[in-house]
Amino acid sequence: MNTSKIGVVDYGMGNLRSVTKALERLGVASQVTRGPDDLATCDRVILPGVGAFRDGISNLTKRGYVDALNEYVLVRGRPILGICLGMQLFMDESEEGGVFGGLGYLPGRVRSFDPALGLRIPHMGWNSVKFCASNPLTDGLSNGGTFYFVHGYYVECKDPSSVTGVCEYGEQFAAVTRKNLIFGLQFHPEKSHETGFEILSRFINARLD
């Protein structure tokens, strides 16, 4: 069993059970954080998320996680993986339900899909991802693999080099991001069968520095 201490951040917005069950299947003993102080003892951290950006950043702030995450990510430089809303919270700001500031780890904005495209929103179900730049979580995985998405908004990164995987849903959007040891997935790897589990496994086990 992997002996790294993996923290899963509980801020009231994530599907914690599906993430922790996936880690259990990978032989990883994860810890659902009880508060911001728990981050100090974690080797790697996962920020899951389901729901609205405004509620997500509000909950992180009210529960005292923003300063603790900044210390963990920006000061200590430790690895973090944002899943779905978790990745969106890494951005500077979001236009979902108004304009709200994010954690600011990735320069850019969370935007809505263009309703003029006539697509069903949210984007829900299986879709293919094309890996377009090096990322230790996806290097060597074949393109054309499908992953499970549930989201009505997507991230628009100011720095194109931080986008390492893209998906098409009427328009192209970032499905995988990376900046240093800050990793993001718009899809749910814990619901994406073997390839999704492989990506989670790499975050847990791969040398990332």
pLDDT tier at 144, thresholds 50, 70, 90: low
| Helix extents (H) in the chain | 16-25, 53-62, 65-70, 85-88, 193-205
A 10 A CB-CB count for 143 gives 11
Q: Can 190 be counted among the known catalytic residues?
A: yes
3 state SS of 35: coil
Q: What range does the domain containing 141 cover?
A: 2-205
Beta-carbon contacts of 6 under 8 Å, excluding residues fewer than 6 positions away, are: 23, 28, 29, 30, 31, 42, 43, 44, 45, 46, 204
Report how many domains make up the chain. Answer: 1
pTM value is: 0.96
Q: Can 42 be counted among the known catalytic residues?
A: no
Task: Tell me what pLDDT residue 3 has.
Answer: 63
A 10 A CB-CB count for 148 gives 17
Question: What's the CA dihedral at 44, 136, 51, 38 to 10 degrees?
Answer: 0
- Which is the catalytic residue, given 42, 84, 157, 167? 84
Q: Can 151 be counted among the known catalytic residues?
A: no
Q: Read off the pLDDT of residues 146-164 as tens digits, 9 standing for 90 and up.
A: 999 999 999 999 999 999 9
* CATH number of residue 140's parent domain: 3.40.50.880
Nearest CA among 14, 174, 59 for reference residue 45:
14
